[in-house]
Structures are given as C-alpha cells and as structure tokens.
Amino acid sequence: MKLSVDVAAVCLQRKLVSRDDGDDLQVCTSKNPTCCTKKMEERYQIAAEQDIQQVLQTSSATLKFLISHNAAAFQETFEMLIRLAENYTSTLFCNAYRTMAAEATAHVQEFFTDVGLFLFGADVSTEEFVNRFFDTLFPVVYNHVINPGPTDISLEYAECLRVARRDIRPFGNIPRKAIGEMGRSLLPSRTFLQALNLGIEVINTTDHLHFSRDCSRALLRMQYCPHCQGLMLSKPCMGYCLNTLRGCLAGLAEVDLHWRGYIQSLEELSGALSGARGIEHVLLNFHSLVRDALGQAGINGPQVSQQVNKICGPPVRKPKQSPACSLDQNKDNHGLKMFSRDSEEALSSRRKALLGRLRPYRAFYGGLADQLCGNQLAAADGRPCWNGEDVVRSYTHRVVGSGIKAQSENPEVKVKGTDPVISQIIDKLKHIIQLLQGKSFPKYDRWDLQQAGSGGGDEQISGDCDDEDGCGESGSGEFKRVLKMTDRGGEEQQGGEVQHLTLDVPFSILPVIAFIIHFR
C-alpha cells in the first residue's frame, strides 16, 4: 500500500502536462490531459496487484484463522488424548500385572506411537499396528500369565510365539474387535485433521493468486488510471468493478462448488467422530480391551499351552531378567495438566461450534468478487464513478456472471482458462471430499455416514465377537468420560482465561487418575 500512496503523491505534485507526454502509456491512455509517464504506469500496475492481493488476504483472514486455530487445537488435544490413553494402559499393567509391566509398557508405548503416526498422516495401517501390538504382547503374557516359571522364555522361543499368535488366537477375537474400533475411530479423525489443513492450503493458495497480464492491466485501469487525470478520489462503478474482478477471480469462482462440498462433507463426517465411534471413546477404553484380552488368555491358558507346544515345542527358558514396573508418575505431566476439571467444552462441542461457524463461508469463493466490490472497492449507487475511461453517472456495459464460462463476453478482462494452480487445488478438494465421505478405504477402516448420522453415539461398534471370544463387556464396565478441549487464545477464549480438558469418570477410578495427572 505504501507504494501506491507514494506514486499518488508524485502525481499530485506535478502539473498536468500535454497529452503528447502520455503517448507512450500502454493502459492509461486518455483523450484528457495526463500526469503519468510510462514508468509511473508500471509502478501503478505493481501497486494495483499488491492492493488486490491485500484485499483478498484481508477478506479471508477471519476464515483462515478459524480453520488454522481449530486445526492446531484439535491436533494438540489428540496428542494429549493419546498420551492419556497410553498412561491408562500402562497403569493397568503396573497395577494388575506388575511382574510383566516393564516389558508390556514398552509395547504399549510403541503401539500409541503408531496411533499418533497414523492419526497425523503417516502411511501406516491400523490393522498392521494393532496386530503387531498383540503379536508382541503374546510372548510376555505367555511367560507371566499362561505358563509362568522361575525363569524367562528365551528370545528365540518368544519370537516363535510372536509369529504364531494369529494362528493360536490366545486373545480370542479381541484383536479383531480392536482393529475394527481403531479403524472406525482413528480414520475419520485423521481425515478431519487432513481436511482442516487442506482448508488452510486452499486459502493460502487463493490469497496469493498469480494474475494474468490481461488481469493486471484491467486492475491498473480500474484502480489507478483515474489518478493519471488527477481524479484521486474517484471509485469504479459497481458494474465495472464486478466485470473486472469477476474476470480476474474467475478461477476462484470455479473453486466455489468444491468448497461448498468440502464444508458439507465436514458436516456429514461429524456423526462418525462422536459417540461409540469417536476417538475419545475408543482410545480411552483401549485399556479395557487389553484387560479383557489378558483375562481371555488366562481362561484359555491350557488350550493355548497345548497349541504352543505343537507349534513351538516346550518352553526354552533363560535366567529371569524381568524388571518391576517403573512407570514414571511425572511423565508427560506438563502436557497432561491440560486435562483439568475446569473446562466446559467437549470435543463434540468444539466440532459443532467450528462447523457452525464455517457454514456461513460455504459461498465464500462464489461471491468473493461481489463482496469485494460491494464492501470497499466500488462507488456507492447513484454516485459519479469511474468506468475505465472517464467519470460518469452509470456504467453502461453488460455485467457478466461468475466463473470461467461467463467471461467469454466480459468487456473488461480476457480470460483464457483456469489457472493450473487453481485446478490443482480443486483436485485436492475433490480428493478430500471423497475421503470425508468414507469412500475407498480398507476393510477395517470404513465408516458408514448413513448409519452414523448425527446421533450415532449410542450405537455399539462391532458385532465381530461374542462372549465366547472373550471380547464382551467386562463386569466392571467401561469408563464413561467426557474429554474436554483446551483453548489457548483466539476467539474462543474469554476473559484471558485458558480453557482446559477435563475427564468425567466414576469415583472408583479417581485414585488412578490422581496417580497419572497432577491438576494445577
């Protein structure tokens, strides 16, 4: 903006010169006297592009902050959720299976590292890392629960057990249930985060458009050519402004349909992110599945031992080296202190609030040219205005519509086609819409938006196993929790206070939580 002000000052300080002095002008030609030179015209053209880019960035600033702020908040919350779920599972071993806790918690840590990698976009499979967890857990459980002895099994024997776990099935159908639950909860949340990050990429791309030569000249003519005639305060006519910006922003209008689909698909995904399918429910109850798997292995111990002897032979042992539980009570305390009882905002509430605030932006790209002209660039109705050549009472040319096809009859800007960069961003929007709708996913990772709906929270996840398989509900039942969100700064924060996450749990589990989390 400083450049345009400087140029205007130069023009004002000069006296209008003869028309011959403007013969070398390329765009701001006029029958009237001019104070512009070719060099000034070039500077004005740079200023015109900079001004429009700044206007674009200002118009999208609130939308960009809304998406980026929530993307960061959701990622931070998911990280804390993973860490808390890991602590729950490790605490299960330390409290109930202390002799094998040190070995088991190493596998627990590896499992939740895989959960985080998958959730934040790494190319890993939920089926693979769930199976890997139970594969590596089986030798530990065999050594300490199914066939305990005064010495540990050898590394070679442990490897045989690891490889044979899927054939022996010591944990019944619980691994299969865990694969289904993890896929149906993690994949929608992963896609949700990917979609938010793509939203930021779309806005960054459209905020920094590369204008064609025809567009740059049209912007110059609309914004700064009147300055060459000393008309420093004139604004373009509304129709003239619309034609110019609809031509320059024709590619953005092509984004409109896909941007609408993007926001609609985010809304439709909401049902798959909550209730029994939600990441909160599944991760914070994963330790219950592990507990039931250990109980199933104990019940099936004799049969499992017979199968192990057939496949791996009798146990080969070595001197006992299993250390005792060494769970660090202060581990992750800095991050987990965010899980406080003071927060009032749940994950589902945050999602609903975000989607509610995104809804008015569904038509953002379709009406962008109209918004910019109506809000700040064009002259008010009935006022004298600039039509590209002179100050007039009204603009007489036809006003074209939005989009590439409508520009064929645009009298102000020649539009040749969609910018390849815009075409690329449209392709990315199409792809993320497919992902948000749950299409083309692996067997265990699909979710059904029709079944989930807005009230999918009460529906149980899997019918893959029954009580015989050892994956039914345990006598103590599942923990019922409400995970609350943190909000550091931004529009959601009020009164300078930081909102925190909280857990709503039965009284019986409070000692365990007190062990893990030190509230502020």
Q: pLDDT digit string (tens) for 355-391?
A: 999 999 999 999 999 999 998 899 888 889 999 988 9
Which secondary structure element, helix H or strand E, spans residue 162, and what is its range? helix 155-168
Mean pLDDT for the chain overall: 79
Mean pLDDT lowest among 15-24, 170-179, 393-402: 15-24
Structural domain contains residue 193: yes
Structural domain contains residue 416: no
Domain range for residue 242? 57-216+235-321+342-406
Structural domain contains residue 308: yes
Structural domain contains residue 429: no
**Res 13: pLDDT:** 60
**Res 21: pLDDT:** 52
* Distinct helix (H) and strand (E) counts, the chain: 18, 4
The alpha-helical segments, DSSP class H, found in 344-469 are: 347-358, 368-372, 420-436, 449-452
Residue 440 has pLDDT above 80, yes or no: no
Q: Look up residue 104 and give its amino acid.
A: A
Structural domain contains residue 41: no
**Res 445: pLDDT:** 46
56-70 in b/e form (b: 16+ CB < 10 A) is beebbeebbebbbbb
Mean pLDDT lowest among 2-6, 35-39, 354-358: 2-6
**Res 336: pLDDT:** 45
Mean pLDDT lowest among 97-101, 202-206, 249-253, 289-293: 97-101
Distance CA 90, CA 362 (A): 44
**Res 474: pLDDT:** 39
22 within 8 A of 29, measured Cβ to Cβ: yes
Tokens representing 345 are 């905002």
The count of structural domains within the chain is 1
Structural domain contains residue 431: no
Read off the pLDDT of each residue in 309-333 and give the average, rounded to a whole number.
Answer: 68
501 within 8 A of 484, measured Cβ to Cβ: yes
Q: How large a percentage of the chain has pLDDT more than 90?
A: 52
| 252 pLDDT tier (thresholds 50, 70, 90) | very high
**Res 153: pLDDT:** 86
Structural domain contains residue 446: no
Q: Which residue has the tokens 């002209």?
A: 373
**Res 338: pLDDT:** 44
| 421 pLDDT tier (thresholds 50, 70, 90) | very high
Per-residue pLDDT tens over the stretch 463-498: 344 444 443 333 333 443 334 444 444 433 434 433
Q: Which of 520, 516, 518 has its CA nearest to residue 86?
A: 516
Structural domain contains residue 5: no
387 within 8 A of 237, measured Cβ to Cβ: yes
Cα-to-chain-centroid distance, residue 241: 35
Per-residue pLDDT tens over the stretch 136-150: 999 999 989 998 877
437 within 8 A of 449, measured Cβ to Cβ: yes
DSSP 184-247: HHHHHHHHHHHHHHHHHHHHHHHHT----HHHHHHHHHHHTGGGGGT-TT--B-HHHHHHHHHH
Per-residue pLDDT tens over the stretch 195-237: 999 999 999 999 998 899 999 999 999 999 998 888 888 899 9
Per-residue pLDDT tens over the stretch 42-78: 899 999 999 999 999 999 999 999 999 999 999 998 9
